[in-house]
Structure 1
Amino acid sequence: MATASTAHDDEIALWISLSLINGLGGQTLCKLLSTFGTPSSIYSAPISQLKEVASEAIAKLIAQGPDNQAIQSTLDWLAIEDNHLITLADKTYPKLLLEIADPPPLLYAKGNLDLLNMPSVAIVGSRNASPQGAKNAEDFACALSELGFCIVSGMALGIDGSAHIGALKGSGNTIAVVGTGLDIVYPAKHRDLAHQIAQRGLIISEFGLNTPSRPQNFPRRNRIISGLSLGCLVVEANIQSGSLITARLATEQGREVFAIPGSIHSPVSKGCHSLIKQGAKLVDHVHDIVSELQPFTGLETIDESETPPEITDNPILTHMGFDPINIETLIERSGLTSEQLSAMLLVLELENKVATLPGSRYQRIA
């Protein structure tokens, strides 16, 4: 007779087997689970009953029984420390995800599972972030994480990566929701970041091992990013940005949506401005987010009475403003020569107060 542990392992194997059936999507799997109760009951059901819930093709594949050879690589992966498989039947399954319309039946995870039920904020935005946008994402993530929030994002280039970096500089509590199998790091440039998140935070995916980067995977994983979170902050986004999909999903899921405004001339501000016009809360300080979410978290209220220090501005920064600017316009505004400006801009860049942009343009960093 199987022990309780062995029985649990056998059931996990059946969960994996069902998830690997070609054409069996999450919604149909949830219907099967709702009808039959457990994976073992699904595999034990007559094909005639299976066809009442799933297509005939899927019913026939289930009736063939579990593919033990196909699931072995996943079982081997699960044997490695800090690798996990979370199912709808597990107590550790994120409670907020149970509230969304189509929760993933399985989540592959690597790292600290305790983060799944922490008060969380999603931070998303453009892959082609401006230097100021990247800094905003990092600063907001760091501050929110130090205040007790877990930062959720998608580990993409740009704003996502900056949000994870900021969280790691703070408490370290961050969840990366990825669109590939967890044996693949995408994008490859974030390999070191992925290792840091796995060590201090958590990486999760609804996709099985060996699932490559496919365009359709990323809009789908966005519902998990928003679903895990109490609110979603969009830092920068153009009108076609996938971040707006995440914001729309957050609204549909009853989550708060926040957006940071930017220059009226910047394409990556257009999406945020559109969200604000539609009712998203305009954010220019971390208190704007915390004041909305604090009642739902049990976290302590922040003292907002501190007066911000007075800032003495550099005259070159004053001439620059906050929009990208070319050297010719800066010469005209400042009255300085090209050589004088170049020397001053180099110093400001080394001080991380100015960034060089493509097209010989410059932008100050607040």
Structure 2
Amino acid sequence: MHSRLTIDDPDYPALLRRLPDAPTLLYVRGDLACLWHPAIAIVGSRTATPNGFDIARSFARAFARAGWCVVSGMAAGIDTAAHRGALDVEAPTVAVLGTGIDNAYPPSNRGLMEQIAERGVVVSEYPPGAPGRPGQFPKRNRIVAGLSLGTLVVEAQMRSGALITARLAADAGREVFAIPGSIHNPMARGCHRLIRDGVQLVESPDEVIAALNPLLSAYAGDLRERLCVPNSSVAALQHHSPSTDANTQRLWDALGYDPTPMDALVSRTGLTSAELVSMLLVMELEGRVVSEHGRYTRKAS
């Protein structure tokens, strides 16, 4: 599914809209609801070491299993590892392109782009067919940072797009994390610079999740406020609305204590996936629902 979102569209992601230079138009391919899911960006070198690739992929798996959406730029190296990690556990992931949403860059990631569009969402501020030009890739990094509550840098050289993304994330008031490496690894020097500058050093996915979890309650409040608008595909979050209350109860009745996939919930409730994801997100943030591998379960009391 291809969509266009203007900055005034109620489905435009609220976190991204907060940026002073948020794109006025987004081209989207895939599930719009993924843009509203709490997300962690994973970025790093295009020429990642095998160890860096493995770390990025394993961290992405852990984030996805914990219910976080993984955001990256679909470049070679760390970005590719991040997306593949989320896909490994059949979780959604968001790819932000510096080209049109129909133009894979690098071309070798064409298959990966198709998988992301099917499982998650591909986003760009450039129209379909737009080729990749050097200045567009640093510019798209603000979208990667803007969609995420936190950004993790796995490997980065001293002059790299990953450091640009980290700076943009910090400027936007988002959390930034860096993984240390060997002093002999030139791909670790950018991370070491970030750590010297005060970025949080992390050695496990749990450290990142623990640092970001306190932000979820505030995010839930912001999410409710942003989504309480008419004619939105996520208007099911409007509180004090009889129809919304009925839909929420319908969803709650459709959930059980066994993991239930989205297609089953759509069938049981008659609601759209966008409506369901939005309601499920708030239920997750309120501690009523657990999400794992794209399946949803009532949280045992």
> Do they fold alike, i.e. is TM over 0.5?
yes
Q: TM-score, normalised by structure 1?
A: 0.59
Partner of 1:203, secondary structure, is: strand
Give the distance between the partners of 1:257 and 1:246, measured in 2 at CA: 10
Q: 1:166 aligns to what?
A: 85
Give the distance between the partners of 1:170 and 1:158, measured in 2 at CA: 19
Larger Rg: 1
Give the distance between the partners of 2:100 and 2:204, measured in 1 at CA: 36
Give the distance between the partners of 1:264 and 1:252, measured in 2 at CA: 28
**Contact 1:143 1:170 survives alignment (8 Å):** no
Residues 265-304 of structure 1 show CA distances to partners (whole Å, capped at 9, x for unaligned) of 100000000000111110101111011100122556xxxx
Instruction: Check if 1:143 corresponds to 2:62.
Output: yes
Give the distance between the partners of 1:171 and 1:142, measured in 2 at CA: 9
**Contact 1:146 1:171 survives alignment (8 Å):** no
Q: 1:193 aligns to what?
A: 112
- Match among 146, 171, 175 for residue 256 of structure 1: 175
Give the distance between the partners of 2:102 and 2:207, measured in 1 at CA: 38
Give the distance between the partners of 1:282 and 1:198, measured in 2 at CA: 32
**Contact 2:90 2:119 survives alignment (8 Å):** no
Q: 1:231 aligns to what?
A: 150
Q: 1:220 aligns to what?
A: 139
**Contact 1:142 1:171 survives alignment (8 Å):** no
Aligned ranges 1:54-69 → 2 under 5 Å? none
Instruction: Check if 1:243 corresponds to 2:180.
Output: no
Q: Which amino acid aligns with 2:76?
A: L
Partner of 2:70, secondary structure, is: strand
Instruction: Check if 1:128 corresponds to 2:47.
Output: yes
Gaps of 5+ in 2: 218-284, 288-301
Q: Which runs of 4+ in 1 moved over 6 A?
A: none
Give the distance between the partners of 1:170 and 1:123, measured in 2 at CA: 16
Aligned ranges 1:1-366 → 2 under 5 Å? 82-298=1-217, 299=285
**Contact 1:96 1:228 survives alignment (8 Å):** yes
Q: Which amino acid aligns with 1:297?
A: L
Q: TM-score, normalised by structure 2?
A: 0.71
Partner of 1:297, secondary structure, is: helix
Residue 171 of structure 1 and its aligned partner are, at CA, apart by: 4.3
**Contact 2:54 2:81 survives alignment (8 Å):** yes
Residue 88 of structure 1 and its aligned partner are, at CA, apart by: 1.2
Residues 77-111 of structure 1 show CA distances to partners (whole Å, capped at 9, x for unaligned) of xxxxx111111121110000111111101100000
Partner of 2:3, secondary structure, is: strand
Partner of 1:215, secondary structure, is: coil
Q: Which amino acid aligns with 1:210?
A: G
Give the distance between the partners of 1:88 and 1:250, measured in 2 at CA: 20
Partner of 1:262, secondary structure, is: coil
Residues 57-83 of structure 1 show CA distances to partners (whole Å, capped at 9, x for unaligned) of xxxxxxxxxxxxxxxxxxxxxxxxx11
Residue 262 of structure 1 and its aligned partner are, at CA, apart by: 0.3
Give the distance between the partners of 2:65 and 2:6, measured in 1 at CA: 30
Residues 193-227 of structure 1 show CA distances to partners (whole Å, capped at 9, x for unaligned) of 00100000100000012211100000000000000
RMSD value over aligned CA atoms?
A: 0.9
Give the distance between the partners of 2:40 and 2:63, measured in 1 at CA: 8
Identity %, equivalent residues? 52
Q: 1:304 aligns to what?
A: none
Give the distance between the partners of 1:246 and 1:157, measured in 2 at CA: 16
Give the distance between the partners of 2:74 and 2:147, measured in 1 at CA: 15
Q: Which amino acid aligns with 2:16?
A: L
Residues 308-334 of structure 1 show CA distances to partners (whole Å, capped at 9, x for unaligned) of xxxxxxxxxxxxxxxxxxxxxxxxxxx
Give the distance between the partners of 1:188 and 1:98, measured in 2 at CA: 30
Q: Which amino acid aligns with 1:276?
A: I
Partner of 1:295, secondary structure, is: helix
Q: Which amino acid aligns with 1:183?
A: D
Q: Which amino acid aligns with 1:153?
A: S
Q: Which amino acid aligns with 1:160?
A: D
